[in-house]
């Protein structure tokens, strides 16, 4: 059976490719720093389960040291000029989209096949990782298609992958780092503290104020932790269930679902949700690393107000 561990092996190989691509990039003054960074990540994907917790912790510190001491750089210039790219886009036309679309299509069609047809019971792919495994398969098919149609130099995938990875740099592992920070926060009892504070300032007698506090608590705790998943169990235990459901008789389905979605409004507003808010700034080469967050706040706040109204009206008056 193909499990997520096969994907780790494949991803490790891709990161090893980034390391080679970075090391070959003579326009990057700090190319050895980048190569070391991607090699450490390769080691994590290939040998993470063998290193033990302390070993992984040391690996994390090494990644942090490389980034914190500014040993990562990025490539200046690009492999082909914009004029060459324009000419080649005229030559290949819309065919260029096909390999890019192969990846989502394989993931989409494959997920349907492995969910709704007898293939589901074939045991070929581990059920909970179907979409991700197929994403990996899609990447492999797309790479083959690129080489068959576009005939780039053999090393192009390594060089271009490394160049793109270098343009994202340390931000590429930030989401994973934040997830491990969440684990440490949980182990150190941060959630319990926040829950205790929230239940200390509960207003009594006003359903609307309690709803407001619940939604705002979800937003603030989500912004601190970077995702709503860590916030929900704490806020549900502090306010959602004892006050809104048990004391005030709210509809638990609404309190649960819309409470989580209020947290998602917080996700739109925090740099801690790095994969959504910080990585794109690097990917799109934005001048301001907080530019994406700035673009999202004016959507997040009205939507939070809408969520509070849905909580209040659908939760208590329908």
Partner 1 sequence: MIDYWPLLGIALVVLGFALRFNPLLVVAVAAIVTGLLGGMPFMKVLAALGHGFNQNRIVTMIYIVLPVIGVLERDGLQQQARTLISGMKRATVGRLLIVYMGFRQIFAALGLTTVAGQAQTVRPLVAPMALAAAEKEHGELDEETSERVKEMSAATDNVGLFFGEDIFLAVSSILLIQGALAAFGIQLTPFQLSVWAIPTAICAFLIHGARLLLLDRKLRRGR
In sign, the C-alpha dihedral spanning 42, 43, 49, 55 is: negative
Rg, Å, the chain Cα set: 23
Rounded CA-CA distance 167/182 in Å is 26
Q: Does 143 bind partner 1 (CB under 8 A)?
A: yes
Taking the complex as a whole, how short is the minimal distance between the CB of residue 32 and partner 1, in angstroms? 18
By CB under 8 A, what part of segment 189-228 binds partner 1? 189-190, 193-194, 196-197, 200, 224, 228
- Based on CB atoms, which residue is closest to partner 1, 207 or 260? 260
Q: Using CA atoms, how far apart are residues 192 and 236, in angstroms rounded to an integer?
A: 12
Residues 269-308 binding partner 1 (CB under 8 A) are: 271-272, 274-281, 283-284, 286-289, 291-292, 294-296, 298-299, 302-303, 306-307
15-74: which residues touch partner 1 (CB under 8 A)? 15, 17-18, 41, 44-45, 48-49, 51-61, 63-64, 67-68, 70
The candidate with the shortest Cα–Cα distance to 276, out of 182, 186, 171, is 171
Using CB under 8 A as the binding rule, the residues of this chain from 72 to 111 that contact partner 1 are 79-80, 82, 84-90, 92-94, 96-97, 99-100, 103-104, 107-108, 111
Please report how close the Cβ of residue 271 comes to partner 1 at its closest, in angstroms: 5
Nearest approach, Cβ of residue 209 and partner 1 (Å): 21
Q: Which residue, 36 or 281, is less far from partner 1 as judged by CB?
A: 281
Cβ neighbors of 126 (< 8 A, separation 6 or more) are 1, 2, 3, 4, 133
DSSP conformation class of 238: I
Residue choice 6, 113, 126, 160 for contact with partner 1 (CB under 8 A): 160
Give pairs for 105-109: CB < 8 Å, separation 24+. 105/138, 106/134, 106/135, 106/137, 106/138, 106/141, 107/131, 107/134, 107/135, 107/138
Nearer to partner 1, 92 or 208 (CB): 92
Span interacting with partner 1, options 24-32, 118-126, 171-179, 207-215, rule CB under 8 A: 171-179
Single out the residue of 29, 180, 203, 249 in contact with partner 1 (rule: CB under 8 A): 180
Nearer to partner 1, 80 or 117 (CB): 80
Return d(Cα 218, Cα 198) in angstroms, integer: 10
Q: 2 in helix, strand or coil?
A: strand
Q: How far is the CB of 206 from partner 1 (least distance, A)?
A: 23
């Amino acid at each position: 059976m193909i499990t997520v561990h096969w994907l780790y092996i494949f991803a490790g190989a891709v990161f090893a490719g980034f390391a080679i691509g970075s090391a070959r990039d003579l326009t990057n003054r700090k190319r050895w720093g980048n190569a070391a960074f991607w090699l450490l990540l390769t080691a994590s994907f290939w040998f993470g389960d063998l290193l033990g917790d302390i070993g992984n912790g040391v690996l994390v510190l090494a990644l942090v040291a490389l980034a914190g001491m500014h040993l990562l750089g990025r490539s200046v210039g690009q492999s082909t000029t914009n004029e060459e790219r324009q000419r080649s886009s005229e030559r290949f036309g819309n065919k260029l989209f096909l390999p890019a679309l192969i990846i989502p299509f394989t993931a989409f069609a494959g997920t349907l096949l492995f969910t709704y047809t007898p293939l589901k019971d074939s045991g070929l792919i581990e059920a909970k990782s179907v979409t991700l495994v197929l994403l990996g398969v899609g990447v492999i098919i797309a790479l083959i298609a690129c080489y068959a149609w576009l005939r780039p130099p053999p090393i192009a995938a390594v060089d271009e992958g490394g160049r793109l990875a270098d343009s994202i740099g340390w931000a590429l592992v930030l989401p994973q780092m934040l997830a491990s920070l969440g684990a440490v926060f949980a182990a150190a009892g941060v959630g319990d503290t926040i829950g205790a504070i929230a239940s200390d300032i509960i207003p009594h007698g006003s359903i609307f104020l309690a709803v407001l506090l619940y939604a705002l608590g979800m937003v603030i705790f989500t912004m601190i932790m970077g995702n709503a998943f860590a916030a929900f169990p704490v806020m549900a235990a502090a306010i959602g269930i004892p006050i809104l459901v048990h004391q005030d008789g709210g509809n638990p389905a609404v309190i649960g679902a819309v409470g989580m979605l209020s947290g998602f409004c917080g996700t739109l507003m925090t740099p801690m949700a790095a994969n959504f808010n910080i990585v794109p700034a690097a990917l799109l080469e934005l001048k301001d690393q907080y530019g994406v967050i700035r673009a999202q706040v004016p959507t997040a706040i009205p939507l939070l107000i809408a969520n509070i109204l849905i909580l209040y009206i659908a939760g208590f008056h329908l």
